[in-house]
Structure 1
């Protein structure tokens, strides 16, 4: 909780800082990468940096956190922080890196706002930063501890045991640990990071959902060709090759209740849902399940046959598909939903925003709607 003095200072300066945050965050990243070029090359997604997505996501999270501190001090932004913490853990972020970020972020704030950053203002926003940072540090430490890992030590060598072309632009890889040890447990819906060495020497990292049940002896990821890392995986990785993969993380996971489920996805967002469905089938679940998927066309739908098979093996499960070239966009207002449904969403941001709005209009509580964003979380940034 912010101190009373800092609360008033942040409340008074939030409009100015919020109005300038779009200038502050790109300058911060420029300063950070000038001082630490290895971070841009080997840790941060440089495609998201070039598109401006990561600066917008950072701006949105800072503004949302500061606003909650001053307007709703009794509420902790648990979902937002959990999502960030899981992403950081999957990248191997450590506590020491928060001081590096602080140095360059506050240098950017001072440069943009100038004389408006009085000692009192600087102290108040420093308090905001370290409240948020320390919450994330604690969450990440817990994630590392639960996984039995030293902080940051998340990487392992895995061997590709199979490659399957799912659609023209999506391919699946099955993976086993190169050292022969079991692949390890995860929760249905979680993802792994994959680190790829690119031709220019950069080590770039992306996240991919695990699209099988946790009790199988192999992991599987499905990669859609949409950037430099996915293109490298599509073009150069085949059976017998080794890739660097993180321990599983991610907070979009099935709860352990018997509540009915809505699993709604679009595009490559189908992958965590396939993993959840596989888990439900293999554990003999009798939960009522409504599966919804939207895609550009039937030909673009990865794991389409598997989706049909898995839902067919669940008692009373319902499956609804929308293909844009035939049916238009997904419309959840037309789907029969059971009472007390728990909704899980994954796909492009416009799809998830529309789906969430439709569910809220139907009376599904916000606390029962969960979503996964790959890449920067632009939901809070309003993009």
Structure 2
């Protein structure tokens, strides 16, 4: 994928560039958004830029790809590429946008490391960037083709059929096509992007998991009030309103086969789990399923009843829930943070996790400590792209 000489230069400079990425990436975004303010207004998540989480994520992606060139790991490479490509496809990213990132990223690298970036170093990192870009573009092209859309042509208009209050800070929206047709097919566990117009003229985007069954002609999403887009949906979107939504994408999907499943979520991270459970129920799937969920309290838990009902309808499923505060109501309810203590995990378990980054990290470590191979642990995080 890259030349031998480039590998040598990467090996010599990776630690230096990696250490400087926290400075490089904010500089990169500053340069790019100054030149192209429309990208911040209508594509990139402004909340993530303010908090600094998006630059941190980009730093991790660039460094991970470079290290995988030096220490190949096919499973890890596939995970990173698929995660980024699905998110890009849900935003309608196309090949023509990669040169824009390249221009401003490399200018930022030179700004921060003027003494390190010789012509040879610049050429090596340039080759790395385009190697990564080519792999992503190819994968994104495959994803667009699989959904039957032209590259970037992912947007459509949906009408809100119903709005339901799930908890004090979460709502559910039922969406339908405006022409009486169906919105489109999706795979359980996938998400859609929603783009909304804000009061300052920006058109911001955020992703929401599809919670309904694949046989339902309507789509169902759940929205926790958190950030510009979610707040807009809470305050301004009601029955009969129109929403701009994308084609479904996402790689946190059910594995083939009948290996035992462990579905673990925290907070609004339960939404892809609801979608997965709906599919398992609809298809009469008989594989063993262990469902674990953590929340702050029962009173603020979205989909509390749905989760219990779906698990009850699966003969091979069990549910255990943790709450940070409150009182245990039965043997399946615990107080505190989620823990695998007392949870039986079969050696061939496949784990699907969804929730905040801290939750994912602790659960992944706990599963590995219980001898679940990393290759059998899949996850989706809410917030900036991992």
What is the TM-score with the length of structure 2 in the denominator? 0.96
Structure 1 residue 283 corresponds to structure 2 residue 283 = yes
Contact 1:160 1:174 in 2 (8 A): yes
Q: Which residue of 1 aligns with 2:197?
A: 197
Q: Compared with structure 1, are the counterparts of its residues 264 and 75 closer, same or farther at alpha carbon in structure 2 (3 Å cutoff)?
A: closer
Question: Are residues 1:352 and 2:354 paired?
Answer: no
Question: How many matched pairs?
Answer: 378
Partner of 2:120: 120
Following TM superposition, by how much is the alpha carbon of 1:73 offset from its aligned partner in structure 2, in angstroms? 7.3
Q: Is there any run of 5+ residues in structure 1 with no aligned partner, and where?
A: 379-383
Q: Is the 8 A contact 1:333 1:358 kept in 2?
A: no
Output the CA distance in 1 between the equivalents of 2:128 and 2:268: 36
Q: Give the one of 335, 340, 351 matched to 2:348.
A: 340
2:208 corresponds in structure 1 to: 208
TM alignment of 1:201-240, pairs within 5 A: 201-240=201-240
8 Å contact 1:160–1:238 — kept in the other structure? yes
Q: Which residue of 2 aligns with 1:381?
A: none
Is residue 107 from structure 1 mapped to residue 107 from structure 2 by the alignment?
yes
Q: How does 1:1-383 map to 2 (within 5 A)?
A: 1-72=1-72, 77-326=77-326, 327-377=335-385
Deviation of 1:18 (Å): 1.1
Compared CA separation, residues 66 and 112, structure 1 to 2 (3 A): same
- 2:331 paired residue number: none
Distance in 1 of aligned mates of 2:37 and 2:381: 26
Residue 329 of structure 2 is matched in structure 1 by: none
Unaligned segments of structure 2, at least 5 residues: 327-334
| Distance apart, 1:76 and its partner CA | 6.3
- Counterpart CA distance in 1 for 2:187 and 2:122 is 41
Residues 74 and 340 of structure 1, relative CA distance in 2, 3 Å threshold: closer
1:151, distance to aligned residue in structure 2 (A): 0.6
1:27: Cα distance to partner?
Answer: 0.6
**RMSD value over aligned CA atoms?**
1.2
